[in-house]
Structure 1
Amino acid sequence: MLRLSQFIFKETRERLGTLSFLINSIKFVTLAVFRILKGLFMNGTKVFNKEKIMQQNNTYVLIMAGGVGSRFWPKSRNHFPKQFIDILGTGQSLLQMTYARFLQICPKENIYILSNQDYKGLVMAQLDGIAASNILLEPSRNNTAPCIAYATYKILQQNPEANIVVAPSDHLILKETAFLDKITQALEYTSKNEALLTLGISPTRPDTGYGYIHFEQEAVAGVHEVNRFMEKPVLKKAKEYLASGDYLWNAGIFIWSAKSIQKAFQTHAPEIAKLFEQGNSVYNTSEELGFIQENYPNSPNISIDYAILEKATNVFTIPADIGWSDLGTWASLHEVLPKDASNNSKSTDHLHLEATSNCIIHLPSGKAAVIKGLDDFIIVDDEKVLLIYPKSSEQEIKSVAGAMVATYGKEYL
């Protein structure tokens, strides 16, 4: 990635000229990087059959956009979390990029944004033309299982033959054609089989920041049975997973038919199923909002992984190489951004750096900084909060943010 970024910067300088290169904004350069990367990654990939999927009109997408992104503090805050930020400098937020990606295989009326009541205005502002009825707002944060159940029962009242894709709003996918090809493959499989399917990311390193999927090597139509889901491992175990070739990263991207996931809720999480079945007569009517406001807070606080996937026996995976990153930490963002000769990624050119390397520097537009003698640090200025923290300790950032709030008040969260 470093060599490719340096090559792109060099080529851009030569083609635009030094003066023009300096004048052009960092957003232009970053967007060019991602376009070139996607072009390179698409070579040799199968073209997805989006026409077939679009014609069926049975595809629905649930984009999960209710999180806070606390590991990206202080840039990601309660009032403006990670999914709404142009964190990559492309001119689009992560939510906007995800929405545009799925519009290629799904009509906009079949795409639902699952979020929190506090973020309705942000969703409406960022997704031009989205109907208010396509924004499903949870009255309380009860994790992923209840909101997926709510959307499932609502969709079943519209289209009992629906096939559903569940995806995070804040992940990076560089190989979009490969991704959509895998999603299409998964939709075709789940439309014919009672299967709960997840995309598993082919690991490239022994990463301790992801959960893993242990899968069977034998495949039918490219689909593998899942043995079990593994929690985030220690480094030694992660190395064993990588060496075995039997493990994938869990990206939190799921595909199933509405009927299959309904049956799974009825079998493995009956309390959730019973709660949302009570609303069958009011979904897609003016009474839906009142029902959700009254009943949703009574649902258990549990993830879809714990409620369903770790209990079900009909869970399958499709291994995928899609240029994926969950962008879960500042270090993971640093990996995918363009870098200078000292391996620093930066959001502005108004910097004077001396003996500074391997840093991610994220400052407000137009702000200048002088930095000397730092190696492998996160430097983030969000006006109210300045964070200067070693990358090696970034897993502490979430708790540090909590300590700041406890000491100085909620305005800093």
Structure 2
Amino acid sequence: MNYSNKNYCIILAGGRGKRLWPSSRMERPKQFIDFFGTGRTQLQATFDRMASIIPQENIFVCTCKDYEHLVREQLPELPTHHLLSEPVTRNTAPAVAWAGVCIHRECADARIVILPSDQIIFNEKAFLKNVLDGLTFVSENDIMLTMGIKPSRPEPGYGYIQMGEPTPFQGISKVQSFTEKPERDFARVFMESGEFLWNTGMFLCNVLYLRQFLIDTIKDMPYRMADLLDMEPEEKRTLYVNEYFPAYPNLSMDKAALELSDNVYVMQCDFGWADLGTWHAIYECMQKQDDDNVIIDSEVMMDDCKGNIIKLPKGHIGIINGLEGYIVAEEGDVLLICKKSDSSSLIRKYVNEAGIRYGEKYI
């Protein structure tokens, strides 16, 4: 395949993954585990996918210092200076700003795709075509472009992007509005209107516009980051980041692009997507077995059970009778049994309470 040496990728891999507890733990969050038993972790699968259309030497990975060793262990092929280890967690926008400066040092007219490390892509061929089409679009237009998916259900755990005025480029429209995690009734209205797309958290832009976008949305942070362009050697730049990064705002790319910017567009995509964010969302997107149960890489005997999602460790056998609509997840020294419909808020509560009562090793 012919690569464009101006195409770059930023993979975001610093999340804690608390909503998938206990399978996702603080010491090894969801992006660093082989969640589906494929032989590759979510981070590795994302890297493999992007490396099929973007040169490996053009891929950056952003994580926090606690997970730097996991990235190095799982991606030995990643260039050392392309692993950006944040000294403190400041969400995704500051991480993207740092990566953007590093990319600008290498290629002043780069075009960039920014994506999480923990998403499920069902049609990789269609996904990669959409990425390449999007990179072509942003190379010619100074805008922020996000990738949206037509909703298949009224999922309250996702963000909803309203499509506005269409562009001459097929499938791309200006973003009219954005609603983060609406109530289910509103999500149903959005889905049935045909005007809304799910937010995938993936963004594309050219590197020069990325700088202007960050100046407009995060004020003084990009000016300090831009100083890195003139800094040599690498050690000096690292010291600079360690000194100033803690002062940066806690701001996500989703909020910066979809709530704080009026120059954002959305591409309607159809590659099959799910956010590996909550147990309920995973249940909804996975193929169901008998009685609508979802069993993820586990050995389970189920009798008179319906609508459950089960994930157990290797070597463990689950025998379950009479259960309906539950999550059963075990990892290490923690077993979770929780109503699936209430899981998003309850799991955060249980993580916090378990940490206080039993210690951080259990979270």
- Work out which of the residue numbers 270, 282, 287 in structure 2 matches 1:321: 270
CA RMSD of aligned residues (A): 1.7
Instruction: Tell me how far 1:218 sits from its aligned partner.
Output: 2.6
Verify: 1:166 aligned to 2:114, yes or no: yes
What letter corresponds to residue 134 of structure 1 in structure 2? H
Deviation at 1:224, TM superposition (A): 0.8
Match of 2:19 in 1: 71
Matched, 1:294 2:243: yes
Q: C-alpha separation between the residues in 1 aligned to 2:189 and 2:268?
A: 18
What SS does structure 2 have at the residue aligned with 1:177? helix
> Partner of 2:166 in structure 1?
218
Give, in whole Å, the separation in 1 of the partners of 2:47 and 2:161. Answer: 26
Maintained 8 Å contact 1:201/1:320: yes
Cα deviation digits, residues 304-330 of structure 1 (max 9, x gap):
233344232321111011110002111
Is residue 298–residue 314 contact of structure 2 (8 Å, CA) maintained in 1?
Answer: no
Tell me what 1:95 maps to: 43
Q: Distance in 2 between matches of 1:283 and 1:300?
A: 26
Q: CA deviation at 1:115?
A: 0.4
Which runs of structure 2 are paired with 1:3-402 in the superposition (5 Å)? 51=2, 54=3, 56-216=4-164, 218-222=166-170, 223-282=172-231, 285-347=234-296, 350-395=299-344, 396-402=346-352
The superposition leaves residues 258-280 of structure 1 with CA deviations (integer Å, 9 ceiling, x where unpaired) of 00110112233222112212222
- Describe the superposition over 1:125-170 as per-residue Cα deviations: whole angstroms up to 9, x where unpaired: 1123222211111100011111111111111111110111000000
Q: Which moved more, 1:305-314 or 1:401-410?
A: 305-314
Matched AA of 1:257: N
Distance 1:147 1:212 in 2: 24
3-state DSSP class of the match of 1:220? coil
TM-score (norm 2): 0.95
**SS state of the match for residue 365, structure 1?**
coil
Question: Which consecutive residues of structure 2, in runs of 5 or more, have no partner in the other structure?
Answer: none
Change (3 A) 1:358 1:57: same
| Per-residue Cα deviation, 1:160-192 (whole angstroms, up to 9, x for no partner) | 101110000000001111111111111111101
- The answer (yes or no) to whether the contact 1:269–1:308 under 8 Å persists in 2 is no
SS in 2 for 1:286: helix
Q: In 1, distance between residues paired with 2:257 and 2:120? A: 26
In structure 2, which of residues 335, 352, 356 is the aligned counterpart of residue 406 of structure 1? 356
SS in 1 for 2:260: coil
Contact 1:154 1:283 in 2 (8 A): no
Opposite residue 204 of structure 1, the aligned amino acid is S
Supply the distance in 2 between the matched residues of 1:188 and 1:308 (Cα, whole angstroms): 19
Shift of 1:347: 4.1
Name the structure with the higher strand share.
Answer: 2
Residues in 1 aligned to 2:267 and 2:240: alpha-carbon distance in whole angstroms? 37
Partner of 1:42 in structure 2? none
What percent of counterpart residues are identical?
Answer: 35
TM-superposed CA distance for 1:383, in Å, is 2.4
DSSP-derived class of the 1:279 partner: helix
Aligned residues: 361
Amino acid at match of 2:216: T
Q: Deviations over 1:10-32 (max 9, x none)?
A: xxxxxxxxxxxxxxxxxxxxxxx
Q: Give the counterpart letter for 2:350 in structure 1.
A: V
Shift in Å at residue 94 of structure 1? Answer: 0.9
1:71–1:328 contact (8 Å) kept in structure 2? yes
TM-score after normalising by structure 1 = 0.84
Could you tell me which runs of 5 or more consecutive residues in structure 1 were left unpaired when the two chains were aligned.
1-49
Residues 67, 262 of structure 1: CA spacing in aligned structure 2 closer, same or farther, 3 A cutoff? same
Conserved 8 A contact 1:212-1:249: yes
Aligned 8 A contact 1:167 1:254 in 2 = yes
Q: Deviation of residue 350 (structure 1)?
A: 4.0
- Alpha-carbon offset, residue 372 of structure 1: 1.4
Deviates more, 1:355-364 or 1:180-189: 355-364
In structure 2, relative to structure 1, the CA distance for the partners of 1:375 and 1:115 (3 Å cut) is: same
Residues 158 and 268 (structure 1), Cα distance of their counterparts in 2 relative to 1, 3 Å cut: same
Would the aligned equivalents of 2:135 and 2:205 in 1 still touch at CA under 8 Å?
yes
Q: 1:283 to 1:88 in 2, by over 3 A?
A: farther
Shift of 1:339: 4.2
1:200-250 C-alpha deviation (Å, 9 max, x unpaired): 111112211111111125331122111122222112211221122111111
Tell me the distance in 2 between the aligned counterparts of 1:334 and 1:309. Answer: 27
Deviates more, 1:105-114 or 1:129-138: 129-138
CA distance in 2, matches of 1:408, 1:140: 25
Contact 1:114 1:135 in 2 (8 A): yes
Larger Rg computed on CA atoms: 1
